[in-house]
Structure 1
Amino acid sequence: MSRFEIRSIGSATLYRGDALEVLTTLAPGSIGDVLTDPPYSSGGNVRDKAQATSAKYQSSEHRGLYPEFQGDTRDQRSYLAWSTLWMGRARDLVAPGGMIAAFSDWRQVPVTSDALQCAGWVWRGIVTWDKTERSRPQLGRYRNQTEFAVWGTNGPRPLVGATAPGVIREPVPKVKHHIAGKPVELMDGLMTIMKGPVLDPFMGSGTVGVACAARGIPYVGIEVDPTYFEIACRRIEETQCGPP
Structure 2
Amino acid sequence: MTRKKTAAKKHLQLDSVKKRLGKPFFESKGIAIYHGDTLELSSQLPANTFDALITDPPYCSGAPGSAVMADPSQKYCQSGKTLGRPSFGGDFRDQRSFKYWSLLWIAQAFNACKESAYGLVFTDWRQLATMTDALQAGGFCFKGLISWDKGGGARAPHKGYFRHQCEYIPWGTKGKVPRLIDRGPFAGSYSIRVSQPDKHHMTGKPTQLMQQLVQCVPPGGLTFDPFCGSGTTLVASALEGRSAIGFEVSEQYCEIAAQRVKAAQHGKPLHFQKT
TM-score grouping bracket, smaller chain normalisation:
over 0.9
Instruction: Note if 1:212 corresponds to 2:237.
Output: yes
Deviations, residues 11-40 of structure 1 (Å, cap 9, x unaligned): 101100011111122211111111100001
Q: TM-score, normalised by structure 1?
A: 0.94
Letter in 2 for 1:236: V
Distance apart, 1:2 and its partner CA: 5.4
Which of residues 235, 241, 244 in structure 1 aligns to 2:260? 235
- Kindly indicate whether the alpha-carbon contact (under 8 Å) linking 2:116 and 2:176 is maintained by their aligned counterparts in 1: yes
Deviations, residues 36-89 of structure 1 (Å, cap 9, x unaligned): 000010113474322110011111163352111110000011011110000000
Q: Trace 1:66-105 onto structure 2 (pairs within 5 A).
A: 66-105=85-124
What residue is the counterpart of 2:167 in the other structure? Answer: 147
What residue is the counterpart of 1:171 in the other structure? Answer: 193
Instruction: Note if 1:191 corresponds to 2:214.
Output: yes
CA distance 1:3–1:29, shift in 2 (3 Å): closer
Instruction: Note if 1:6 corresponds to 2:6.
Output: no
Q: TM-score, normalised by structure 2?
A: 0.84
Structure 1 Cα separation of the partners of residues 82 and 66 of structure 2: 17
- Kindly indicate whether the alpha-carbon contact (under 8 Å) linking 2:73 and 2:80 is maintained by their aligned counterparts in 1: no
- Kindly indicate whether the alpha-carbon contact (under 8 Å) linking 1:203 and 1:221 is maintained by their aligned counterparts in 2: yes
- Kindly indicate whether the alpha-carbon contact (under 8 Å) linking 1:205 and 1:232 is maintained by their aligned counterparts in 2: yes
What residue is the counterpart of 1:156 in the other structure? Answer: 176
Instruction: Note if 1:27 corresponds to 2:30.
Output: no
Letter in 2 for 1:156: K
State which drifts further: 227-236 or 54-63.
54-63
- Kindly indicate whether the alpha-carbon contact (under 8 Å) linking 1:5 and 1:17 is maintained by their aligned counterparts in 2: no
State which drifts further: 97-106 or 154-163.
154-163
CA distance 1:183–1:19, shift in 2 (3 Å): same
% identical equivalent positions: 36
CA distance 1:64–1:30, shift in 2 (3 Å): same
Q: Which runs of 5+ in 2 are unaligned?
A: 1-19, 271-275
CA distance 1:164–1:2, shift in 2 (3 Å): closer
- Kindly indicate whether the alpha-carbon contact (under 8 Å) linking 2:82 and 2:202 is maintained by their aligned counterparts in 1: no
State which drifts further: 132-141 or 96-105.
132-141
Q: Trace 1:131-142 onto structure 2 (pairs within 5 A).
A: 131-137=150-156, 138-142=158-162
Structure 1 Cα separation of the partners of residues 23 and 72 of structure 2: 25
Structure 1 Cα separation of the partners of residues 61 and 44 of structure 2: 29
CA distance 1:2–1:35, shift in 2 (3 Å): closer
Instruction: Note if 1:40 corresponds to 2:91.
Output: no
Q: Which runs of 5+ in 1 are unaligned?
A: none
- Kindly indicate whether the alpha-carbon contact (under 8 Å) linking 1:135 and 1:171 is maintained by their aligned counterparts in 2: no
Q: How many residues align?
A: 244
What stretches of structure 1 move > 4 A for 4+ residues in a row? Answer: 1-5
